[in-house]
Chain A
Amino acid sequence: MSTTDEESSGVLRSILPPEQVDRFLGTCDDYGWPLLGIGALVAASFPVLGLQGGYYMTVLTEMFLFAILALSWDIVGGQTGYPSFGNMAFFGIGAYATAILTKDFALAFPVAFLLAGLLAVSSAGIIGVVVLRLRGHYFAIATLGVLLVAQQVSRILDITGGASGKILLQTPSAETFYYLFLGVLVVEMALVYYLSGTRFGFVLNAIRDDEEKATAMGFNTTYYKTAAWMLAGLFTGFAGAAYSLFNTFIDPQTAYNGAWNVELIAMALLGGSGTVAGPVIGAFGLHTIIELVETFAVGWQLVLLGGAVIVTVIGFPKGVVGTLSEYASQMDYYKHGGMAATDTDDGSEVSADE
């Protein structure tokens, strides 16, 4: 909310009073677990109620996939303040791991899936120790480098099928993937939601706000950053592990998809980074729009994506959830009074930690 729209803000206030938004957000906060449970049950019931494998099931499955990717990015990018441009590296590692393990080693898919997650999380550990020493732009560029290196390696090796990739024909049913992606997403949301209320989650936020101060308070920030990064790597790896078989084909371009990397960041920002619901809402919303564009205006999806990123960053840097909670709490400080409510109220940041 900038100062130029005082008028419209007045109208908005009468239609949508901040107190009600505040109450709504408070309710969501208080009933986080039931809401998550209801959401999971509703999503799980669609196939039972007659949703068949086909276009709509594929779209929903992809929404879950992107929600996993956006939420994973946000653990490090939003909660910890380390914006990565290389998350898709773990996606590719997971994707190739299941492809190779099921096709060349004839392992069962569940075993391959778990091993792929393990591989992604251990690569995240090793890479994290190196790149998490960097901050800001340097971190972003280093992670982008990791992604490019991983992509190139998969192009060179024989076992990955080189540049032509791997075709995977023996795959589980569409319904299996629907439930698998949904399951991973629900587990991840539950975990992030739980962690955001623990000391571990507080420390991640503290690193985002002022890493030096966090160190001076006795927190070994390297340890926390690496843990968060590995958590993100694990879930991104799981998403990739399921994706290669879901897609029945994997090559360096799809496994380490640079456009997706931008897309998942856009989703997290659009929905509201640093929150649990934000990246998921952003993923569902943006993916719906992208699907619509793909149906009705073929070829414009990347233009739209770029436009959405620009509008979000300029207009709603805190995303949907962040902007709402800022709106809801903007009078909070004055209501509860302060002895000297004079300076520093730039109103440019938000405290949506849930």
Chain B
Amino acid sequence: MSKATSGPAAEAASDRAVLRTDGVTKRFGGLTAVDDVDIEIHRGEIVGLIGPNGAGKSTLFNCITGTLTPDEGRVYLQGEDVTDWPEHKIARAGLGRMFQETRIFGDMTVRKNLLLAAQEGGAGVSSLMRRPDSSLLARTDELLDYVDLGGLAETRAGRMSFGQQKLLEFAMELMSEPEILLMDEPAGGINPSMLGNLIDYIRNANEEQESTIFLIEHNMDFVMDIADRIYVLAHGERIADGTPEEIQNDQRVLDAYLGRE
């Protein structure tokens, strides 16, 4: 956020932000992995985060989710300062995350994976001790059909193919309906036809349920196609932000990717 626009208007804009980081910095020993990064994501946006390898994208994600605590700067989720919260509390406050390497609970059935993701009831003892009710079960069937995994509900999740596991992980996020979903390379390692499906699912979720998505991606066609806005990191610093067209024509971005700096 630039200093010139500070004032009531800017504050109102920040309040609408689902996720905002303010000068987040993370150092590992002498290396500054993330350097004074500001980002702001509003409801219903799909925002991309790109940058060369080692630019600090995943570290920034980890600082946001609470896996790492930033050395400097603050992270706000829906206007609330969550910087020092433990990871599970941030997640419960509405931040969903899909990992770079697909992570599902391999020894549990597909259905149980989905039931776990359902957030309703929270962590209260009474809801923990209840068996899942029929409306929840119906919702799992609905979601599995939606991502073409119908019929696999009772299969052990670890038996499915990699792409199917990725779809399951996405369905788990749809089940939990987070305020904002962080995806680390959703297009990584899945075949083109399944990628097409995944793009459709992400678009649908965004358009129909106003899901807010923040994603790291190396597949440029994919990210330029799907994102409303893009942030570019290089050497931990935010070097550009803008629409996909602006980013594609930004000289600093081109230099960073081609190694000229």
Binding site for B on A (CB under 8 A): 195, 197-200, 202-203, 205-206, 208-210, 212-221, 223, 274, 329, 332-333, 336-345, 347, 349-351, 353
Q: Please judge, given known A-B contacts A199-B115, A206-B108, A344-B165, whether A337 and B91 are in contact too, CB under 8 Å.
A: no
- Other A-B pairs beyond A333-B156, A344-B165, 7, CB < 8 Å: A212-B103, A213-B105, A216-B99, A332-B154, A332-B155, A343-B162, A345-B159
Contacts of B107 in A (CB 8 A): 205, 208-209, 274, 349-351
The answer, among B108, B152, B172, for a CB contact under 8 Å with A353, is B108
Alpha-carbon distance between A255 and B241 when the two chains are bound, in angstroms: 67
Jot down 28 A-B pairs with beta carbons below 8 A, ordered by A: A198-B128, A198-B130, A199-B115, A199-B121, A199-B130, A202-B108, A202-B112, A205-B112, A206-B105, A209-B105, A209-B108, A215-B91, A216-B65, A216-B91, A216-B97, A218-B89, A220-B88, A220-B123, A221-B88, A332-B154, A338-B152, A338-B164, A339-B163, A340-B161, A341-B161, A344-B158, A349-B106, A349-B156
Please tell me if B87 contacts chain A, counting CB pairs below 8 Å. yes
Q: Are A344 and B99 in contact (CB under 8 A)?
A: no
Known: A203-B116, A336-B151, A337-B151. A351 touches B164 (CB 8 A): no
Contacts of A339 in B (CB 8 A): 148, 161, 163-164, 194
- Complex Cα distance, B62 from A273, in Å, reads 34
B195 to chain A, nearest CB (A): 12
Q: What number of A-B contacts does a CB cutoff of 8 Å give?
A: 130
Contacts of B3 in A (CB 8 A): none
Chain B residue nearest to A219 in the complex (CB)? B88
Q: Are A333 and B152 in contact (CB under 8 A)?
A: yes
Contacting pair A218 B92 (CB below 8 A): yes
Q: In chain B, residues 104-161, which have Cβ atoms closer than 8 Å to a Cβ of chain A?
A: 104-109, 112, 115-117, 119, 121, 123, 127-132, 148, 151-152, 154-156, 158-161
Q: Residue of A at shortest CB range from B164?
A: A338
Chain B interface size range: 35 or more
- CB of B6 closer than 8 Å to a CB of A: no
Which A residue sits closest to B94, measured CB to CB? A218
CB neighbours (8 Å) of B191 from chain A are 340
Chain B residues with CB below 8 A from A208, complex form: 107
Could you tell me if A344 and B159 are in contact, using CB atoms closer than 8 angstroms? Answer: yes
With the chains together, A219 CA to B151 CA distance in Å? 28
* CB contact under 8 A between A218 and B119, given known A208-B107, A351-B109: yes
Separation in Å of the B81 CB from the closest CB of chain A?
18
Please measure, in the bound complex, the distance between the C-alpha atom of A345 and the C-alpha atom of B104, giving whole angstroms.
15
Bound-state Cα–Cα, A333 to B148, Å: 14
Q: How far is the CA of A233 from the CA of B215 in the complex (A)?
A: 44
Please indicate which of the listed interface residues A214, A216, A336, A353 has the most CB atoms of chain B within 10 Å of its own CB: A216
**B176 on interface, CB distance cutoff 8 Å:** yes
Given contacts A213-B103, A340-B191, A340-B194, contact A197 B131 (CB under 8 A): yes
Distance of A350 Cα from B107 Cα, bound (Å): 6
Contacts A215-B91, A216-B87 hold; do A206 and B123 have CB atoms under 8 A apart?
A: no
Q: Is B86 among interface residues, defined by CB-CB distance under 8 A?
A: yes
| Interfacial chain B residues near A349, Cβ < 8 Å | 106-107, 156, 158
Contacting pair B156 A329 (CB below 8 A): yes
**Shortest CB distance B108–A (Å):** 5
Interface 0/1 of B16-34, CB less than 8 Å to A: 0000000000000000000
| Nearest opposing residue in chain A for B153, CB measure | A336
- Docked CA distance A85–B176 (Å): 37
Given contacts A218-B88, A342-B161, contact A351 B97 (CB under 8 A): no
Q: Identify the closest chain A residue to B116 (Cβ).
A: A202
Chain B residues near A195 (CB-CB < 8 A): 129
User: By the criterion CB–CB under 8 Å, are B91 and A217 in contact?
Assistant: yes
Q: Please determine whether A350 and B91 come into contact, CB atoms closer than 8 angstroms.
A: no
Task: Tell me whether A199 and B160 are in contact in the complex, defined as CB-CB below 8 angstroms, given that A217-B117, A338-B152 are known contacts.
Answer: no
Chain B residues closer than 8 Å to A342, beta-carbon distance: 161
Contacts of A223 in B (CB 8 A): 123
Bound-state Cα–Cα, A333 to B161, Å: 10
CA A112 – CA B56 in complex, angstroms? 59
By a CB distance below 8 angstroms, the chain B residues around A333 are 152, 155-156, 159-160
List the B side residues contacting A274 at CB < 8 Å: 107
Q: Of all chain B residues, which has the CB nearest A332?
A: B155
Inter-chain contacts of A202 with B (CB < 8 A): 108, 112, 115-116
Q: How far is the CB of B160 from chain A (nearest CB, A)?
A: 6
Measured between alpha carbons, how far is A341 from B148 in the docked complex, in Å? 13
Q: Are A217 and B152 in contact, CB atoms less than 8 angstroms apart? A: no
